[in-house]
Amino acid sequence: MLNVLSREYVNFRKMKNLLTSIFLIISISVSAQEEKTENFIFRHSQFEYNERGILITPINPLINKNIKTYIEINYAMVESVRNVVWLSYETSTNPISKTHIQKYSVRVQIKNKNQNQEFKYLEVEHDLHKNDFSSKYVFDNQKRNFVLDEKEIERRSYLSNLEELGIKNAPNKTSINNIISDYKQLVDGENKNQAPSFSIMDSENYEIYDIIVNYVNKSFSNVSFVMNIAWDSYNTFLSNYDIYHYHTYIVRVQLKESDKYEFIEVIYNPFKKEAISDFIWNKENGFFERKHN
């Protein structure tokens, strides 16, 4: 009886060790799959400008084939893929997740019942971390063209208008080196186990703290004082026609003549060293919210 129990115990221990090993392998695998900020630095460093100021993009020899395959599988109305043009490289970083995508404009021939050749353009996104392709556009048979998906239209309606905030399509633009510098600072913070690494409590970022506090006090008359500021995210955009980057901070404020506190989302432009927000006070509901046209 003891021998039987001993064998069962040994088997139990072996199974436990096996499950532990599998768990560790899965955990290591998941950790390895997390996007590294260093990858954003590497990707940006691959872009350069020629002597005429034209952006030279890194070449991916498989991109045409991969996009062609994606379109053939997902868009039955497409007869053929004619050419692929690079549009932009965009990144987004926050304390929880990191993403970077490349966007392409694809010229496609649409199937029809006559001999006329009908060409349209479809925007396709390449998720560089997941290495998969997608598009936020669907084909409208009535318009005979690709249009934004309704869910994407709704999602974009809640976003800030970066052009009105002086970030997108600004006359004076930042540089790739400035973006790389910001990402290096993010890496330094991560290596020091500081989350987030652009915390305004870091002595190197006291200037950002002062700029945001001064902006809030000047722009929101019902704010008594700023209680604290938390770094939320960092976003970048690079294309042949534009380049910009910005940080988003969440500002907790104390209201005047009230014990109540509220939150304001503030965007910090590191190129201009300016803070701005599209939040306004909703008097009826008693909180700050994004202004929508």
In a domain, 16, yes or no: yes
Same domain assignment for residues 29 and 49: no
202 pLDDT band, cuts 50/70/90, is low
For residue 81, the model assigns a pLDDT of 95
Mean pLDDT of 196-209: 68
Same domain assignment for residues 180 and 279: yes
In a domain, 233, yes or no: yes
Residues 6 or more apart whose Cβ sits within 8 Å of residue 235: 90, 91, 92, 93, 245, 246, 248
pLDDT at 20 over 50: no
Same domain assignment for residues 78 and 107: yes
224 pLDDT band, cuts 50/70/90, is very high
Instruction: Write the pLDDT tens digit of every residue in 40-60.
Output: 999 999 999 998 888 998 888
200 pLDDT band, cuts 50/70/90, is low
Residue 83 burial (CB < 10 Å; 0-12/13-18/19+)? exposed
286: helix, strand or coil: coil
For residue 31, the model assigns a pLDDT of 39
Same domain assignment for residues 147 and 49: yes
In a domain, 162, yes or no: no
Number of folded domains that form the chain: 3
Token code pair at residue 246: 């910005």
**CA angle in degrees (0–180, nearest 5) for 130-132-133:** 140
To the nearest 10 degrees (0 to 180), the angle between helices 176-191 and 37-45 is 160
33 pLDDT band, cuts 50/70/90, is low
Instruction: Write the pLDDT tens digit of every residue in 94-143.
Output: 888 899 999 999 999 999 888 788 999 999 999 999 999 999 999 999 99
Q: Compute, in degrees rounded to 10, the torsion defined by CA atoms 205, 208, 214, 218.
A: -160
In a domain, 164, yes or no: no
pLDDT at 171 over 70: yes
SS (H, E, C) 89-145: EEEEECCCCEEEEEEEEEEEEECCCCCCCEEEEEEEEEECCCCEEECCEEEECCCCE
Same domain assignment for residues 93 and 196: no
> What whole-number distance in Å separates Cα of residue 229 and Cα of residue 227?
7
34 pLDDT band, cuts 50/70/90, is low
Helix or strand (DSSP H, E) at 259: none
What percentage of the chain exceeds 90 in pLDDT?
67
pLDDT at 19 over 50: no
Nearest of 56, 100, 133, 36 to residue 236 by alpha carbon: 100
Q: What single-letter amino acid sits at 240?
A: N
Same domain assignment for residues 220 and 121: no
Same domain assignment for residues 59 and 21: no
For residue 96, the model assigns a pLDDT of 86
Mean pLDDT of 215-232: 94
In a domain, 272, yes or no: yes
194 pLDDT band, cuts 50/70/90, is low
Contact 102, 47 (CB under 8 A): no
For residue 264, the model assigns a pLDDT of 97
In a domain, 168, yes or no: no
Distances (CA, A) of 244 to 91, 161, 162, 241: 11, 14, 10, 11
4 pLDDT band, cuts 50/70/90, is very low
Mean pLDDT of 9-26: 41
How crowded is residue 17: how many other Cβ atoms within 10 Å of its Cβ?
10
For the chain, the farthest-separated pair of C-alpha atoms sits apart, in whole angstroms, at 86
For residue 205, the model assigns a pLDDT of 72
Same domain assignment for residues 29 and 53: no
Q: Phi, psi at residue 117, to the nearest 5°?
A: -90, 120
Mean pLDDT of 190-194: 70
Same domain assignment for residues 63 and 9: no
Same domain assignment for residues 109 and 197: no
Residue of 200 and 252 predicted with greater confidence: 252
Bond into 196 cis (ω within 30): yes
Q: What single-letter amino acid sits at 192?
A: K
Residue of 169 and 8 predicted with greater confidence: 169
Range of the structural domain that residue 70 is part of: 44-157
Q: How much is the mean pLDDT over the chain?
A: 86
Same domain assignment for residues 131 and 198: no
In a domain, 170, yes or no: no
Same domain assignment for residues 180 and 127: no
> What whole-number distance in Å separates Cα of residue 169 and Cα of residue 270?
15
In a domain, 166, yes or no: no
271: helix, strand or coil: coil
pLDDT at 27 over 80: no
